[in-house]
Amino acid sequence: MSDRDSEFGEYLDSRAAVMRRTAYLLCGGDWHRAEDLVQTTLAKIYAAWPRLVRGSGIDGYARKVMVRAAIDDSRRAFRRRENAVERLPEVGVPPAGVDDAVDVRRALARLPAGQRAVVVLRYWDDLSVAETAKALGKSEGTIKSQASKGLATLRTLLADGRVAVEGLR
């Protein structure tokens, strides 16, 4: 095994769980898409590994690749048509009450991909505004604006009980 492979393997061992959790949130709670997103991210990291090892920004590069891939994937037409569920209900789903609808993951899945990326990086990965801006390649003002809009939408969805139960986990 080459040094490149062993170094990459060590990095993967130390960061795989964090990457999966972040991808899960970026994909709106869909583990299958999250696994695909992690694989895409790892392939791109491996391709750039010699350049990344010389610098110190492996985690930042990984976040940027993951967020961009998630946004690109969410823009694909076939993703908008799909509404995957784990199993079909035997009977129709009754209207959700506020208690049933208070699920942050479902509300997070309703955000546009860019706002979801900002909210996940800022409040899940606990990055600063500057770090989030650097990871996404956007200005700090845009990050603040997107975070504010995303949080306002989440508050509205959760407070009003407007989070849909069907098709989301």
Asked whether 133 and 147 are in contact (CB, 8 A), the reply is: no
pLDDT digits (tens, 9 = 90+) for 2-34: 788 888 899 899 999 999 999 998 888 888 889
Compute the distance between CA of residue 94 and CA of residue 85 in angstroms, rounded to an integer: 16
Q: Where does the pLDDT of residue 165 fall: very low under 50, low under 70, confident under 90, or very high at 90 and above?
A: very low
In this structure, what token pair is assigned to residue 75? 């823009």
CA 111 to chain centre: 11
The one-character DSSP state at 139 is -
How many residues are recorded in the chain? 169
The least confident of 7-21, 57-71, 81-95 is: 81-95
Residue ranges and CATH numbers for the domains of the chain are: 3-79 (no CATH), 88-160 (1.10.10.10)
CA 120 to chain centre: 6
pLDDT digits (tens, 9 = 90+) for 75-86: 775 555 556 667
Q: What is the mean pLDDT of the chain?
A: 81
Residue type, 50: P
Residue 95, Ramachandran bin (φ over 0: left; ψ between -120 and 50: alpha; else beta): beta
Tell whether pTM > 0.85: no
